[in-house]
A and B are shown apart, each in its own frame.
Chain A
Amino acid sequence: MAPLPYVVARKRRETRDVWTLELEPVDEAIEQIRPGQFTMLYRFGVGEAPISSSGDPELGFRLVHTMREAGQVTRGLCAAKPGDLVGVRGPFGNAWPVDTARGKDVVFVAGGIGLPPLRGAVYDVLAHRNGFGRVVLLYGGRSPGELVFRSDVERWRSRLDVDVEVTVDTAGHDWRGNVGVVTKLIPRAPFDPANAVAFVVGPEIMMRFAAAALIERGLPQESLWISMERTMRCGVGLCGHCQLGPTLICRDGPVYRWDEMRPWLEVAAL
Chain B
Amino acid sequence: MAEVLAAADLGVLLGALRARGYRVVGPRVAAGVIQYAELDDAGDLPHGWTDEQAPGRYRLARRDDDAYFGYAVGPHSWKRELLPPRVRLWQASRDGLAVEEEETDYQPTAFVGVRPCELAAIAIQDRVFLDGRFADRDYAARRADVFLVAVECGSPSSLCFCSSLGTGPGATDGFDLALTELHAGEHRFLVRSGSSAGNAVLADLPTRPAARADLETAEQVVEAAARAQAGRFAAEDVHDLLLRNLESPHWDAVAERCLSCGNCTLVCPTCFCTHVEDTSSLDGETAARDRVWDTCFSLRYAEMHGGNTRPTTRARYRQWLTHKLATWEDQFGTSGCVGCGRCIAWCPAAIDIRAEVAAIRQEDAHAHA
Contacts and interface: CB of A to CB of B under 8 A. Distances in A.
Interface of A: 1-5, 26, 44-48, 68, 70-71, 74, 85-87, 203, 229-231, 233-234, 236-241, 243, 245-248, 251, 267-270
A227 to B, nearest CB: 14
Contacts of B303: 231
A5 B132 CA distance: 26
B162 to A, nearest CB: 24
A contacts with B: majority SS: loop
Contact of B304 (A5, A229, A245): A229
6 contacts: A44-B94, A48-B276, A68-B305, A233-B276, A234-B274, A243-B331
Nearest to A74: B305
Q: Which 5 A-B pairs have the closest CB atoms?
A: A246-B330, A45-B280, A240-B273, A70-B305, A236-B134
A183 to B, nearest CB: 18
B133 A236 contact: yes
Given A44-B287, A45-B287, A231 B274 contact: no
A243 B280 CA distance: 29
A3 B99 contact: yes
B133 A251 contact: yes
B247 A245 contact: no
A247 B329 CA distance: 10
Given A2-B89, A5-B96, A243-B327, 5 more contacts: A2-B101, A44-B280, A45-B278, A239-B276, A247-B330
Among A48, A87, A231, A241: residue with most chain B CB under 10 A = A241
Given A86-B97, A87-B97, A246-B327, A45 B294 contact: no
Contact of B302 (A44, A241, A245): A241
Contacts of A247: 330-331
Nearest to B89: A2
A247 to B, nearest CB: 7
B18 to A, nearest CB: 33
A269 B99 contact: no
Given A229-B304, A237-B133, A269 B310 contact: yes
Contact of B92 (A87, A239, A240): A87
Nearest to B275: A233
Given A70-B305, A229-B304, A246-B327, A267 B275 contact: no
A141 to B, nearest CB: 16
B351 interface: no
Interface residues of B, number: 52
Interface string B271-291: 011111011100010010001
Contacts of A26: 96-97
Nearest to A203: B306
Given A45-B279, A240-B294, A270 B90 contact: no
B134 A237 contact: yes
Contacts of B279: 45
Given A47-B278, A243-B323, A270-B319, A238 B272 contact: yes
A243 B330 CA distance: 11
Interface in B306-324: 306, 309-312, 314-315, 318-319, 322-323
B278 A5 contact: no
Nearest to A6: B97
A226 B297 CA distance: 28
A254 B133 CA distance: 16
A230 B330 contact: no
Interface in B125-139: 128-129, 132-134, 136-137
A228 to B, nearest CB: 11
Contacts of B243: 245
Interface in B253-303: 272-276, 278-280, 284, 287, 291, 294, 296, 301-303
A229 B304 CA distance: 9
B276 A270 contact: no
Contacts of A74: 305
B315 A270 contact: yes
Contacts of A203: 306
B246 interface: yes
A237 B318 CA distance: 20
A267 B246 contact: yes
A23 B274 CA distance: 29
B365 interface: no
B98 interface: yes
Given A70-B305, A243-B331, A247-B331, A2 B134 contact: no
Nearest to B312: A269
B131 to A, nearest CB: 11
A251 B132 CA distance: 9
A5 B99 contact: yes
B93 to A, nearest CB: 9
Nearest to B323: A243
B134 A238 contact: yes
B295 to A, nearest CB: 10
Nearest to A270: B246
Interface string B89-124: 110101011111100000000000000000000000
B287 A241 contact: no
B327 A230 contact: no
B154 to A, nearest CB: 34
A270 B318 CA distance: 8
Contacts of A240: 272-274, 294, 296
B272 A87 contact: no
A213 B134 CA distance: 38
B315 A269 contact: yes
B96 A85 contact: yes
Contacts of A70: 305
Nearest to B274: A239
